[in-house]
Amino acid sequence: MTTITEKTCPGCKTCKPADQFNANKSRTDGLQRFCRACQKDLKADWQARNLDKTRQYDRDRKAPGKKATALYTAAPNPARASPLSGEGGEGEETTNVVETETAPPAAQQPAAAAAKDNPPAFGGEQEDNERLTAQPATPTVAKTTNTTGFADLPHAAIVRSKTNPRTHFDAEFIASLASSIRTKGVLQAILVRPLPGSRLQETLEDLLPGQPRPTHEVVAGEQRWRAAGIAGLRTIPAMIRELTDDQVLEIQLVENLKRRDLHPMEEAEGFERLRETAGLSAEDIADRIDKGRSYVYKTMNLLKLVPDARKAFYERKLTRSTAELVAMRPAGLQLQVLKDIAATDFHGEPMSYRKAKDHIDSNYMLKLGSAVFKITDESLVPAAGSCRTCPKRAGANPQLFDDVAHADTCTDPTCFNVKKQAHYDRIKAEAEERGQTVITGKEAKEIMPSSNTLRGYTKVDDHQALGGKMRTLRKVLGDNMPMPTLIEDPTTHEMVAVLPTAAVSKLLKDNQITDAGVHKEADVDAIVAKRKLTEAYELAWRTKAIRAVSEAGDADVALGTNPMREIALLLFAGLRGTSQALIGELANVGKVGVREGVEQHLKTVPADALVQWLYVLMMAHDLHQFDEHAVRISVGAANFGIDTKALAASVKSEMKAEASAKRVDEAAKTITAERKPAPARKPKVGKEEAAALIAKQLQAIDNPNRFEADQRVRLKSDVHKDGNTFNTRGVSATVVQAAGDRAWEVSPDNLNFPITVDYTEMEAL
């Protein structure tokens, strides 16, 4: 088939590209005769010449019991009316019967004369204007007797409504419906109204040769009307009602919106038309369709979807729920969110609603309560204003964000980051005004390669073990702290307050009695005992939580199998000591060759159990982090419905009961000892035996390098490795294994990797 790229318009006598002509499948070239500009002029000219007739037609059509005056004169030929029974079966009513008949040639003479008297303004051949200036010698016209009731109308005399909310039709469903109609016919009449005068010119332009002029417009039942045409029906049962444009719109929207097979985007467009044309509020629409207000608000919010997101929605790459999540994001972020949640997993399925919501909450929903800037500061970014009054705050649209727990949640990460950067810029400017040292750019990156690494400096606002407690340098030093230096974090661009590590050591030494709160030697034993009890309690309930997750049901898998196995192996590689032993116990690999056994287990474990193991391994990293809240354990347990507070309470009760039983046992031993006779004195040892015993005890005292695996120790100084300084002074650690005659490999509580230290740099707890 030859593709037409350009065509000459007979109106303006100009050769124009094909895209400037409307489509017309009835013509051989598939295009209208006239270009769009000429069609517009023709329509305006026709309306001007027939304005009085159009108005009279509308008046006659609306007048009760009066036949409408035809716009095109036809020879008188009385229509044959047929009485049809009403639906109730009682009595009969005269109905509107429409027939097609051939008008005599004389019927067209007035119209032809009118065309001759009013030639087109732009000129042209008669054959090019025959549809506007003269009709065929024997046109087919549709005649009606009444304007309301039931009738079998010619299918070709009915046109679709331009206000139908349904704009997408399922071809398979229409074909199936057509097959049913061929067998059983149309079982339910469609609803139509007489064609309004405003559509006469439009429908006339699209008229096919030999086709009757349209007389009615579909109000409801367009799918049946389309299927009847495919089935080859010449007539279709219809109920005819006189309806205004507003009445038609309300019937189409309210009735069609109650149908379940309407696409949510079409439903949203219908709600918007009701709001704009009928003046209905969201509450009114909810009452009309028997839905909740939140349903209406979320549906109308779908209109905010960008074109690519709408296309994905129609292509079923998004569900209604996930499409609502995308629509809640700003237009600039929707494509990124769409890319994230529309990607398929290894099963070929898109992200589920729960996973999509978790992903969006983690990456696109920011808690204003944790913002580094003052959220009510309107001067920070004047264009954005205060976060309290921002429409992008979850609390400002409770109907849309009814599933968000915190009202103070920002849904626009871009704006949030702009405010955060403005806050850091303000801090930098104020610091420079005070004469405070500010390090940025390349120099800052050399000192701070990452957010967790500082070379030669110590953060003053980070919690660390000082004086037996987790405190910040700022709090410990108080007024004795010199003005800190500000270093720009190369990743987050946050201005971090630091002090030189060498200066920190001297400051702590000078102030450890008055400000650092170093305990007296007499209190050390009590502190150590209390810490051991606390660590035993934390270790017990955390172990229980990990075991509970290991025994829980399967998790919802969302990642590919191979990446999941690699992640599991990486998580296990970071475990040491009792944490590694616990994983070996849960994997049932025995006590010999634990590392190799667990690695083999993770490589062969079924795919549906991998997510569960990922949670267990992640939680195991918090097993000995006693100076921090066990966030990973709490989150992991919550995902499996395990109450960590209840576990902790049960451990506490068990420890209390065990402590009480221990006191009873000690009291019983004391009473028994009082009742027993004093044991006989040991015989005196000889001089040689006594000398050997004393030498053995002195050797044990003189050997400070008497550590063993899994022993808890405290590091005495910061560790320097590969040019980096790690803040390990006063930090507790677990001994992993010996690394030579003097060195030991230890796992500090504040680091995720082991380090090697000399035995003189640590002390037993």
Active site (catalytic) residues: 222
- The CA distance from 739 to 681, in Å, is 45
Angle formed at CA 438 by CA 433 and CA 444, multiple of 5 degrees: 160
Which DSSP symbol is given to 690?
Answer: H
- How does DSSP assign 203-236, residue by residue? HHHTPPTTPPPP-EEEEE-HHHHHHHHHHT-SEE
To which residue do tokens 């439009």 refer?
Answer: 202
The encoded tokens of residue 763 equal 């002390």
- Rounded distance between C-alpha atoms, residue 139 and residue 104, angstroms: 8
What is the spatial distance between Cα 71 and Cα 48, in angstroms, rounded to a whole number?
14
3-state helix, strand, coil in the chain (%, to 5): 45, 15, 40
Q: Which of 488, 490, 467 is nearest to 477 (CA)?
A: 467
The single-letter code of the amino acid at 192 is V
Which pairing describes strands 457-459 and 495-500: parallel, antiparallel, or unpaired? Answer: antiparallel
Q: Is 588 left (phi over 0), alpha (psi -120 to 50) or beta?
A: left
Place of tokens 């019991």: 65
Are 101 and 139 in contact, with CB atoms under 8 Å apart?
no
Distance in angstroms (rounded) separating the CA atoms of residues 163 and 648: 63
The whole-angstrom separation of Cα 411 and Cα 404 is 11
Alpha helix (H) residue ranges in 343-447: 353-363, 413-433, 441-447
- For the beta carbon of residue 329, count every other beta carbon within 10 angstroms: 24
CB 293 within 8 A of CB 286: yes
- CA distances (Å), 84 to each of 89, 236, 237, 641, in order? 10, 14, 11, 66
Strand ranges (E), 461-508: 464-466, 469-471, 485-488, 495-500
Give the orientation angle of helix 631-639 with respect to helix 644-675, to 10 degrees. 120
- Give the residue from 593, 642, 597 showing the smallest Cα distance to 616: 642
CA 481 to chain centre: 46
The β-bridge relationship of strands 216-220 and 158-159 is: parallel
Q: Residues 589, 598: contact at Cβ < 8 Å?
A: yes
What tokens does 324 get? 């609502």
Write the CB contacts of 220 (distance below 8 Å, at least 6 apart in sequence).
190, 191, 251, 252, 255, 256
Helix (H, G, I), strand (E, B) or coil at 48: helix
DSSP character at residue 19: G
- For residues 264 and 257, give the distance between their C-alpha atoms in angstroms, rounded to a whole number: 9
Q: What are the C-alpha distances in Å from 289 to residues 285, 299, 620, 657? A: 6, 13, 52, 62
Residue 356 Cα distances to 207, 317, 326, 381, angstroms: 50, 13, 10, 31
Strands ordered across the beta sheet of 712-715 = 755-758, 743-748, 732-738, 712-715, 762-764
Residue 466 CA, chain-centre distance (Å), reads: 43
Q: Are 439 and 359 in contact (CB under 8 A)?
A: no
Question: How many C-beta neighbours within 10 Å does residue 535 have?
Answer: 17
Inter-CA distances, 229 with 154, 199, 212, 225, 575, Å: 10, 21, 15, 6, 71
Q: What is the sign, positive or negative, of the torsion defined by CA atoms of 281, 285, 290, 294?
A: negative
